[in-house]
């Protein structure tokens, strides 16, 4: 793994590391498309006003300006790099609503930027992979269930340890807090969201100091947040707390539906965890967080939720639900822990050797014939001794070297085993496992 960086927080992978990252991206793309999600890409910048209004993380936003500009135009003033893909997607939906078929299913894999203190799992420039479904006016709740199952399928195909998708519902939490007399539910959620970081005693102190909660309110809020079940038994545990509210009932039923279906289709992967709050204010219902089992200190590798009011145009609203996978966070842990390795660092399967410099054009003919059949091939640049050309291939990790004799016959050598035999560039192929670099899961 590349250890040194001239600018911290902006990862740059070595070729073999990049192959593992590409494998992760390919798996995600393939899974998302199997579930009918279309790919889009949005611009890197949004207006500062939109970013801060929707996300409230102004300290993390990178502003953008032209160094040589004497005056910024009105359209250029107040631009910043997006810190996630949900806010850009909401803007994209509003601007393109007349061209989209709803419910619109999209996946988006792009760079994002946040001005954070760099550490493993937290970079300033990072790749996210998002899936969302957005509706026009209404969005059936079943999409909340479908997206959770889609993400579980995608993560199960990656070279990572076991993971747990933890699900809660903001309606459940907000209804509960309102019923016990804590009216500033957004502030309560922000405090509960810190539970794993600072512990229940400090969260309780925050509720008392910042919201004026009494001992009974603190007790109930913390009892709710400690409920975690792998099945729908959380419903009875919440009911046992003796709190009633219409919004609480609605959230309980929605969360019950998610957990019931997940228990049937992905047993052991999805749990109800009533401590999950999600800090961003635009979530209105289901919320998700995902952790690698045994690597909880890394933080959430996949999170998201339902947002009913993030995107609107006049009287039209575009409710949505989505999840975001932290690709860079995942890849950094895969590399640092050796969860996967790659068979070679280059895509090249064959190096065509040169007997002399006049053979270069004929060697290109061989390379072309191999490439036409999907075999990645390079041609040696100079006619050094064959031993040096073989060592060059070995240093690069290229498994086969191709030789053409003066009489026009061909031989190919597997430099790992030393075996060499005649071959025809129009029909020869390497073993299937050598056509492309192979990712091996540790």
Q: Tell me: pLDDT of 279 over 90.
A: no
Of 325, 342, 359, the residue at which a domain comes to its end is: 342
Q: Tell me: pLDDT of 1 over 70.
A: no
Of 342, 370, 396, the residue at which a domain comes to its end is: 342
Residue 62 annotated as lining a ligand binding site: no
Q: Tell me: pLDDT of 430 over 90.
A: yes
What was the pLDDT predicted at 309?
85
Residues 6+ apart with CB under 8 A from 96: none
In this prediction, residue 251 has a pLDDT band, given cuts at 50, 70 and 90, of very high
Residue 257 annotated as lining a ligand binding site: no
208 touches 222 (CB < 8 A): no
Pair (240, 337) in one structural domain: yes
CATH of the domain at 207: 3.30.930.10
Q: pLDDT for 108-144, tens place per residue? A: 999 999 988 888 888 999 999 999 999 999 999 999 9
Q: pLDDT for 377-404, tens place per residue? A: 999 999 999 999 999 999 999 999 999 9
Pair (304, 377) in one structural domain: no
Tokens encoding 297:
């200190």
Residue 282 annotated as lining a ligand binding site: yes
Of 324, 342, 360, the residue at which a domain comes to its end is: 342
Q: Report yes or no on 2 lying in a domain.
A: no
CATH of the domain at 429: 3.40.50.800
3-state class (DSSP) for residue 39: strand
Pair (260, 403) in one structural domain: no
Q: Tell me: pLDDT of 363 over 60.
A: yes
Residues 6+ apart with CB under 8 A from 148: 165, 167, 258, 262, 270, 288, 323
**Chain position carrying tokens 């070729």:** 15
| Among the listed residues 151, 126, 158, the one whose alpha carbon sits nearest the alpha carbon of residue 32 | 151
Q: pLDDT for 325-346, tens place per residue? A: 999 999 999 999 999 999 999 9
Q: pLDDT for 3-22, tens place per residue? A: 566 788 999 999 999 999 99
* Mean pLDDT over each residue of the chain, to the nearest integer: 92
Residue 284 annotated as lining a ligand binding site: no
Pair (325, 404) in one structural domain: no
Domain hosting 432: range is: 350-441
Find the Cα–Cα–Cα–Cα dihedral 141, 145, 148, 151, rounded to 10°.
-100
Residue 127 annotated as lining a ligand binding site: no
Tokens encoding 228:
């975690």
Residue 283 annotated as lining a ligand binding site: yes
Residue 229 annotated as lining a ligand binding site: no
Pair (369, 338) in one structural domain: no
| Among the listed residues 352, 368, 348, the one whose alpha carbon sits nearest the alpha carbon of residue 404 | 352
Pair (289, 415) in one structural domain: no
- The span from the CA of 259 to the CA of 179, in Å, is 24
Q: Tell me: pLDDT of 199 over 60.
A: yes
Q: Report yes or no on 326 lying in a domain.
A: yes
Q: Tell me: pLDDT of 57 over 60.
A: no
Q: Report yes or no on 6 lying in a domain.
A: no
Pair (355, 323) in one structural domain: no
Pair (194, 56) in one structural domain: yes
Pair (327, 406) in one structural domain: no
Q: Tell me: pLDDT of 237 over 70.
A: yes
Pair (60, 194) in one structural domain: yes
pTM of the model: 0.91
Q: Report yes or no on 314 lying in a domain.
A: yes
Number of separate domains in the chain: 2
- The mean pLDDT of 23-41, rounded to a whole number, is 98
What was the pLDDT predicted at 76?
59
Instruction: State whether the Cα torsion 376-381-383-384 is positive or negative.
Output: negative
In this prediction, residue 54 has a pLDDT band, given cuts at 50, 70 and 90, of low
Q: Tell me: pLDDT of 282 over 90.
A: no
Q: Report yes or no on 5 lying in a domain.
A: no
Residue 83 annotated as lining a ligand binding site: no
In this prediction, residue 72 has a pLDDT band, given cuts at 50, 70 and 90, of low
Pair (359, 302) in one structural domain: no
Pair (161, 267) in one structural domain: yes
What was the pLDDT predicted at 74?
52
What was the pLDDT predicted at 70?
61
């Amino acid at each position: 793994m590349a250890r040194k960086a001239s600018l911290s927080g902006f990862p740059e992978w070595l070729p073999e590391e990049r192959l593992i990252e590409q494998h992760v991206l390919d798996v995600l793309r393939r899974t998302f498309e199997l579930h009918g999600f279309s790919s889009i890409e949005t611009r890197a910048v949004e207006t500062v006003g939109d970013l801060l209004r929707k996300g409230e993380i102004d300290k993390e936003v990178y502003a953008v300006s032209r160094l040589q500009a004497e005056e910024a135009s009105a359209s250029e003033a107040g631009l910043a790099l997006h810190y996630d893909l949900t806010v850009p997607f909401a803007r994209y939906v509003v601007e393109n609503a007349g061209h989209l078929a709803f419910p619109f299913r999209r996946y988006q894999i792009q760079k994002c930027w946040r001005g954070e203190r760099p550490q493993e799992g937290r970079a300033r420039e990072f790749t996210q992979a998002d899936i969302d479904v957005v509706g026009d006016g209404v969005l059936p709740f079943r999409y909340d269930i479908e997206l959770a199952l889609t993400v579980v399928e995608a993560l199960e195909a990656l070279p990572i340890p076991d993971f747990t998708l933890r699900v809660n519902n903001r309606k459940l939490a907000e209804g509960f807090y309102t019923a016990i007399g804590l009216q500033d539910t957004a502030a309560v959620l922000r405090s509960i969201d810190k539970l794993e970081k600072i512990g229940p005693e400090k969260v309780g102190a925050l509720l008392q100091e910042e919201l004026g909660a009494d001992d009974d309110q603190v007790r109930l809020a913390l009892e709710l947040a400690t409920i975690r079940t792998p099945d729908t038994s959380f419903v009875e545990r919440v009911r046992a707390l003796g709190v009633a509210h219409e919004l609480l009932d609605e959230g309980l039923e929605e969360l019950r539906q998610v957990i019931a279906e997940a228990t049937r289709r992905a047993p052991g992967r999805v749990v109800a965890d009533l401590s999950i709050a999600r800090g961003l204010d635009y979530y209105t219902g289901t919320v998700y967080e995902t952790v690698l089992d045994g690597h909880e200190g890394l933080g959430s590798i996949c999170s998201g939720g339902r947002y009913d009011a993030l995107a609107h145009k006049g009287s039209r609203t575009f409710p949505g639900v989505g999840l975001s996978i932290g690709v860079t966070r995942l890849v950094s842990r895969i590399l640092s822990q050796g969860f996967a390795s790659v068979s070679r660092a280059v895509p090249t399967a064959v190096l065509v050797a040169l007997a002399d410099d006049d053979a270069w054009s004929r060697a290109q003919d061989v390379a072309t014939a191999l490439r036409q059949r999907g075999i990645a091939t390079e041609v040696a640049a100079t006619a050094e001794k064959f031993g040096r050309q073989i060592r060059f291939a070995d240093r690069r990790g290229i498994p086969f070297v191709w030789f053409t004799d003066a009489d026009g016959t061909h031989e190919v050598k597997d430099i790992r085993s030393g075996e060499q035999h005649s071959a025809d560039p129009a029909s020869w192929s390497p073993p299937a496992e050598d056509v492309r670099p192979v990712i091996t899961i540790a």
